[in-house]
Structure 1
Amino acid sequence: MPLNEHSTATALSKIEDNALVRLVYASSLTFKSRFKPAIFQTVEQDARRYNQQHGITGTLCYGNGQFLQCLEGQKKVLLPLLQEIFDDTRHKEAKILIVQPIEQREFSNWGMRLMFLERWLWSPETKKQADTLSRFLPFKPSQWNKEETEEFLHAIQKIQTPPHVQESGISLNALGNMIQHVVGPHQAFILVQSVLAILTLVAIVLLFRLPFN
């Protein structure tokens, strides 16, 4: 079950300051951020810079309008990040999926690898080497439990070259998610209106084809 800010802080308070900790959260891109394709590069650059300075490793994944980030480091370093995660206006609905002490890092060679989980934007080469990720698509980490999250993290460790797309592809994805965000809640209404429009068009065609006396 995902943790909120308070329960995560409570869980971290029971762990020693120097202990290694894995913190994994999922969140959704805000409506405003969907219009800023460069946001991914900005987030990645900021994360790499901060993580290198503080000995944090992990990965940042994005797809279907959602983020999943895994952070590994000492508790005393990750704890200050907790408030920043929940306060960051570039995303919303942050949920902590995993927070636990670990014996060793799983992403020791990953300063902060950015991965795009949008299969339709991948190149043929990327699709071949990332085929093991298909079962996690469409990417909806906010709905995962701890076991599903751990399965995903285990799977991406086998990926040598992270799935990535060009900024033009990111723009298309941002546009697609924006349309989905606007249209999604009104799908039933739009469907009914479309059917009525088709029936009206058919009626007009039939009317003009009828013989007039």
Structure 2
Amino acid sequence: MPLGHIDTVSTLEELDDTALVQLVYVSSLTLKGRLSTSIFAELEGHARAYNEQHNITGILCYGNGHFLQCIEGNKVQVLTLQQRIFTDKRHKNLNILLVQAIDTRSFFDWRMRSLFLERWLWSPATKQQATQLSPFLPFAPHGWSSKRTEQFLQTIKTFDTAPHIKAAGITYNALGNMVSHIVAPHQAFLMVQAVLSVLIVVAIILLFL
């Protein structure tokens, strides 16, 4: 029962509160999120304790400024967590790609594994699995159908090695996102300024020749 909006309550009304549910949503980093170089460590730290306490499992994927998170648990706990997540001001453009009743969990790690879908952040072990990830890169999950979302989940749940990256890489990535966010809207202006600067330098040189 896939959804294209955030009204999950009505979709799951027929299910018992203890029914096992899988919910997948996507979002984008806000400027506040981009300014936080520790956002990924904070998300992982907060999720670990909460998920273990509430019997929630899943995976959090990030790449190209976008999040895709799969959360699994009983209906009440999943909906409660969804409401918490959707009020977080560090991300925006939230959209549910898939929500459905399941018989078994696809992910069993209480710590909510993190998968970074940016090649330069990958460890050698993760790069060995790049062939399986290639159809989903560059990472732009907002336009995915429920079928493509399920294909992605099937691919990443078979990974033999949990992805590992260096904390410094995450920090530089967050800083890069921040610079990109600030610079992108002003590219034309900056280009004009760069050209004018070059012309001024050339004019000064010609004056003294």
Q: Same fold (TM over 0.5)?
A: yes
Task: Tell me by how many angstroms 1:116 deviates.
Answer: 1.4
Structure 2 Cα separation of the partners of residues 205 and 123 of structure 1: 49
Number of residue equivalences = 207
What is the aligned partner in structure 2 of residue 132 from structure 1? Answer: 132
Structure 2: segments with no counterpart, 5+ residues: none
Task: Tell me by how many angstroms 1:179 deviates.
Answer: 1.0
Structure 1 Cα separation of the partners of residues 86 and 161 of structure 2: 30
Structure 2 Cα separation of the partners of residues 205 and 124 of structure 1: 50
**Does 1:4 find its partner at 2:5?**
yes
Q: Deviations over 1:44-64 (max 9, x none)?
A: 122122222222211011122
Change in 2 beyond 3 A, CA 1:12/1:196: farther
What's the secondary structure of 1:69's corresponding residue? strand
Task: Tell me by how many angstroms 1:148 deviates.
Answer: 2.0
Moved more, 50-59 or 172-181: 50-59
Moved more, 197-206 or 112-121: 197-206
What is the aligned partner in structure 1 of residue 92 from structure 2? Answer: 92
Structure 1 Cα separation of the partners of residues 125 and 195 of structure 2: 41
Change in 2 beyond 3 A, CA 1:198/1:75: same
Structure 2 Cα separation of the partners of residues 72 and 131 of structure 1: 27
What is the aligned partner in structure 2 of residue 110 from structure 1? Answer: 109
Change in 2 beyond 3 A, CA 1:208/1:10: farther
Moved more, 153-162 or 136-145: 136-145
Task: Tell me by how many angstroms 1:167 deviates.
Answer: 1.5
Which amino acid in 2 is paired with 1:130? Answer: A
Task: Tell me by how many angstroms 1:192 deviates.
Answer: 4.1
Change in 2 beyond 3 A, CA 1:187/1:113: same
What's the secondary structure of 1:94's corresponding residue? strand
Structure 1 Cα separation of the partners of residues 200 and 136 of structure 2: 42
Change in 2 beyond 3 A, CA 1:193/1:160: same
Moved more, 28-37 or 90-99: 28-37
What's the secondary structure of 1:61's corresponding residue? strand
Task: Tell me by how many angstroms 1:127 deviates.
Answer: 1.1
Which amino acid in 1 is paired with 2:62? Answer: Y
Moved more, 137-146 or 174-183: 137-146
Q: Deviations over 1:132-171 (max 9, x none)?
A: 2133222222232222211211111121223232111111
Q: Deviations over 1:153-203 (max 9, x none)?
A: 111112122323211111110111011111122233333444454455556
Structure 1 Cα separation of the partners of residues 146 and 192 of structure 2: 39
Kept after mapping to 2: 8 A contact 1:117/1:163: no
Kept after mapping to 1: 8 A contact 2:32/2:89: no
Structure 1: segments with no counterpart, 5+ residues: none
Structure 1 Cα separation of the partners of residues 169 and 16 of structure 2: 43
Q: What TM-score results when the alignment is normalised by the length of structure 1?
A: 0.84
Q: Larger radius of gyration, structure 1 or 2?
A: 1
Q: Deviations over 1:52-99 (max 9, x none)?
A: 222221101112222111011111221212211211123222211111
**Does 1:178 find its partner at 2:200?**
no
What's the secondary structure of 1:28's corresponding residue? strand
Structure 1 Cα separation of the partners of residues 85 and 105 of structure 2: 21
Structure 1 Cα separation of the partners of residues 8 and 205 of structure 2: 63
Kept after mapping to 1: 8 A contact 2:23/2:70: yes
Structure 2 Cα separation of the partners of residues 99 and 49 of structure 1: 24
**Does 1:78 find its partner at 2:110?**
no
CA root-mean-square deviation: 2.3
